[in-house]
Amino acid sequence: MLPAASVGFVPTMGALHDGHMSLVRAAREQHDTVVLSIFVNPKQFNDGQDFSSYPRDEAQDLALARESGVDVVFMPDSDEMYPAGFATSVSIDAHLTNVLEGAVRGQSHFSGMATVVTKLLVTVQPEAAYFGAKDFQQVVVVRRFVTDLGLPVRIVSCPTAREPDGLVISSRKVRFSAEQRRQAAAIPAPLTPIVTAVEAGETDTSVLFEAGAAVLHQQGLDIE
Ligand code: PAF
């Protein structure tokens, strides 16, 4: 039984899309109040260019939030999140953060994300916080520091939202050229046999991975 005024929280960096809306819908079903935050967190970008070109559309975000039934939008500015002299960070062991995405973006990406998510959770104090399974490693890291720090919140991971052709929905995709969008459509298909094999209990997917990588290379895609 949830407390009467249960708060569900959806943390975002804005540029809201159907993936975020699916998190809002999941929260809406479970809570009296849904809070959504919009903050493009400078501390989790390893590349300054990626930060400055991250898509931002405040008016559209607010309209979408309103339409989808969000009750409160929390939109702090940088000084509010990182007051002068800010000297604290949440750091997670390397075995979770310098592999997979961390191997490419650097461990500081996950530390920056963990620091801001901790601050947001402490500020909003939700009963549950909703994250997309799209960012699988992020969900693993969030569950870890929430447990380790004893933060009183339930972490809910929601299924990845996809376009009709199977491509994951992502804020950054607005930067694709038409050609890049066409190439990206090749990404989901080679993943399917890997998922099927893992679900059937396979633990060594290296052969399937190499085959999938070859398909993507043929489409002109490099894998990080
Ligand atoms: O997934 C995101 O959009 C961000 O990493 C998050 C959780 C909002 C923290 O900045």
Closest residue by CA, ligand 1 atom 6:
12
Summarised one tens digit per residue, pLDDT across range 181-209 is 999 999 999 988 999 999 999 999 899 88
As a whole number of angstroms, the distance between CA 55 and CA 169 comes to: 14
Specify which residues 22 forms β-bridges with: none
Q: ∠ at Cα 9 (31, 62), nearest 5°?
A: 105
Question: What end-to-end distance do the CA atoms of the chain give, in Å?
Answer: 44
Predicted local confidence at residue 1, as pLDDT:
58
pLDDT classification of 3: cutoffs 50, 70, 90:
low
Token pair, residue 162, equals 């996809």
> Any idea which of 23-27, 35-39, 45-49 has the lowest mean pLDDT?
45-49
Higher per-residue pLDDT: 10 or 4: 10
Q: Is residue 31 flagged as an active site residue?
A: no
Which atom of ligand 1 is the closest one to the Cα of 40? 10
What is the value of pTM for the model shown? 0.94
In the reported structure, the alpha carbon of residue 179 is separated from the centroid of ligand 1 by a whole-number distance in angstroms of 28
CA atoms within 13 A on the CB side of 185: 8
Predicted local confidence at residue 2, as pLDDT:
55
| Chain Cα centroid distance, residue 4 | 28
Say yes or no: CB of residue 171 within 6 Å of ligand 1.
no
Predicted local confidence at residue 11, as pLDDT:
98
Mean confidence (pLDDT) of the chain:
95
Q: Which of 102-106, 108-112, 209-213 shows the highest mean pLDDT?
A: 108-112
Predicted local confidence at residue 38, as pLDDT:
98
Q: Between the CA of residue 220 and those of 70, 175, 213, what are the distances in Å?
A: 40, 18, 11
In the reported structure, the alpha carbon of residue 216 is separated from the centroid of ligand 1 by a whole-number distance in angstroms of 28
Backbone phi, psi, residue 85, to 5°: 85, 5
As a whole number of angstroms, the distance between CA 157 and CA 97 comes to: 19
pLDDT at residue 4 greater than cutoff 80: no
As a whole number of angstroms, the distance between CA 94 and CA 64 comes to: 37
Specify which residues 33 forms β-bridges with: 7
Summarised one tens digit per residue, pLDDT across range 145-167 is 999 999 999 999 999 999 999 99
Say yes or no: CB of residue 212 within 6 Å of ligand 1.
no
Q: Are 180 and 28 in contact (CB under 8 A)?
A: no
Say yes or no: CB of residue 132 within 6 Å of ligand 1.
no
Q: ∠ at Cα 23 (17, 28), nearest 5°?
A: 120
Query: DSSP labels for 19-86?
Result: HHHHHHHHHHHH-SEEEEEE---GGG-S-HHHHHTS---HHHHHHHHHHTT-SEEE---HHHHS-TT-
Predicted local confidence at residue 224, as pLDDT:
81
As a whole number of angstroms, the distance between CA 188 and CA 68 comes to: 28
Say yes or no: CB of residue 117 within 6 Å of ligand 1.
yes
Mark out the alpha helices in 36-159 (DSSP H runs): 48-52, 58-67, 78-81, 94-97, 101-105, 107-124, 136-149
